[in-house]
Structure 1
Amino acid sequence: MKNLKKCLVVVMMLGTLINYANDKKNTTYVVEGKKVKVEFNAVKKGNKLTIRDSYDVIIFSQEIENSGNYSKIFNLSNLLKGDYTAELEKDFEIVIKNFSVLEGKVSFNGEKRVFKPVIRTEKNKVLISKIDFNKEPLKVALYFNGEVIYSETVKDNSNVLNRVYKLSKEERGNYTVVINTNDRNYVQNFNF
C-alpha cells in the first residue's frame, strides 16, 4: 500500500511535468525600447506573476484572474540598471524568466523551471516528494508547537526525491514543515 501511494505521487508529478513540457513555449520580447511584453501559456486562475530585482525586492505582483494564455506589456522605463526576474508561480512549478536592464535596453537571459515540493500528511506521517533535475540539496525542518523536533539536509542523486517522516502518535498539536531548496522556502502548517 505504501509503495502504491509513492508510485501515485511520482506518476502525478511526472504527468504534470510532461504536460508542461508539451505546452507551447512561453515568450517574452521587447515591444518598444523600454516596454516588454510578457506572455505565458497555459496559466490557471490563481497562479501568481511576480517581478523581482536582484535583491529579491518585489517590484510587481499580480494574481492571474483567468485561465488560458496570459499577456501583459510592462513599462520598464523606471527600472534601474540591473538584473531582474519575472516569475510565474503555478501549482507544482515556478517558471522563471531572467532579464537585465542596461542603458534603457532590456535583454533576456533565458528561462528555467523550478519544481515545488509536494507535502502531504496522512495520519501521523508527513510525505514529501520533489522533482529536481539539478539535484539541489533539500533542507527539511519539522516543528512541533513552534520548536524544531527534526531537521536534515537531503542530498539525492535521483531526479525524484521521496521522503516519509513518522510523527509520534502521542504528540498531538500544531506542526509545521519548512523546506528550503533552490533558494526558496516552502512552509506548510497542519494539525495532528
Structure 2
Amino acid sequence: MKNVITHTKKGFLMVTMFATLLSFAKESSLSIIKNDDKRTSLTLESVKKGNLLSIKDNKGIVLYKELIEASGIYTKGFDLTTLPNGAYVFELDGEVEIKTIPFTVESSKVVFDKNLEETTFKPFVRVDNDLVFISKLALHNEELKIDVYFEDLNGDYTSNPVYTETIKGTKKIERVLKLKTLGFEQKGNYTIVLKSNGREFTQYINI
C-alpha cells in the first residue's frame, strides 16, 4: 500500500507539473512587430513581471536588456537601424519559457520573419524532501542532459557527477530522482545541472 501511495503521489505531481507547463504553452506571448524608416515597435502580450527582455547578436552578446516591470501587454519602440549589418534576436526570458524573435539588419533595413519565431520551454524542477521531479516540454524533440553533483557538510565536492543522463526522442520529458539513493545517505548540498537547446540551468538543493 505504501508503494501505491508513493507512486500515486509521483504521478499526481508529474501531471500537475505538465498541466502548468501546458497552460504556459497556451499563453505564450504573442509578438506584433511594426516597422517604419527609423522605428521598430515591439508588442508582447501576456508578459509577466520579472521577465527579462534582451537583444543579442549572433554570438550571444547582450546588446540591450530590460526587466519587465508589469504583467500584461508590453509595447516599446526601438531604433534598430543603427546596428551593424548582421543577425540579431529579441529574447524574452520568462519563468518556464524563452521566446526568441530573430531579425536581420542590412544597410539600415530591419527585417523580421514571423516564421522564425520560436518558444523553448525550460526544464521545470520541483523538490519534495529528497525527491526531485524534473519535467520539460520538448516540442521539437530536443534532448535534456541531467548532471547531479554532491557536496557533503565538510565541503568535499564531487568533480564528476554522481548521476548523469541524457533524455531524447520524446516531447514530454519526465524524471524522478531520489537523491539519497545516489550513493550519499548523509546530508549535504546537491547541484543539478540541466542542459538543453545550448542553454544551461542550475538548481541547488540542500537536504
Q: Shared topology, TM-score over 0.5?
A: yes
More helix by share: 2
Which among 133, 144, 166 is matched to residue 153 of structure 1?
166
Name segments (4+ residues, structure 1) moved above 4 Å.
none
**One-letter code of the match for 2:202?**
V
Question: Which SS does the other structure have where 2:117 is aligned?
Answer: strand
Q: How many Å separate the matches in 1 of 2:68 and 2:179?
A: 37
Q: Which has the higher strand share?
A: 1
| 2:18 aligned counterpart, secondary structure | helix
1:133 is aligned to 139
Q: Which runs of 5+ in 2 are unaligned?
A: 1-8, 152-156
Q: Which has the larger radius of gyration?
A: 2
Matching of residues 169-184 of structure 1 within 5 Å: 170-184=185-199
Displacement of 1:19? 3.2
What is the aligned-residue RMSD (CA, Å)? 1.5
Please say if residues 34 and 106 of structure 1, whose CA atoms lie closer than 8 Å, have aligned partners that are also in contact: no
Deviation readout 1:67-93 (Å, 9 max, x if unpaired): 111111111233111110101111111
What is the alpha-carbon distance in structure 1 between the residues aligned to residue 199 and residue 106 of structure 2?
Answer: 27
Aligned length: 187
Work out whether residues 27 and 46 of structure 2, in 8 Å CA contact, stay in contact via their aligned partners in 1: no
Q: Deviation string for 1:37-58 (max 9, x for gaps)?
A: 1110111111110110000000
Aligned to 1:108: 112
CA shift, 1:156, in A, is 3.0
Note the residue ranges of structure 1 that are not aligned, 5 or more in a row.
none
Tell me which of 96, 100, 104 is aligned to 1:96. Answer: 100
Report the TM-score when normalising by structure 1.
Answer: 0.91
1:66 matched to 2:70? The reply is yes
Deviation string 1:129-175 (CA, Å, 9 cap, x unpaired) is 00111011111111112422111211132x21101111126132111
How far did 1:122 drift? Answer: 1.4
Mapped partners of 2:46, 2:32: distance in 1: 12
Distance in 2 (CA, whole Å) between partners of 1:89 and 1:103 is 29
Percent identical among aligned pairs is 34
Q: Report the alpha carbon displacement of residue 123 of structure 1 after superposing the two structures with TM.
A: 1.2
In 2, distance between residues paired with 1:107 and 1:69? 23
**Residue equivalent to 2:53:** 49
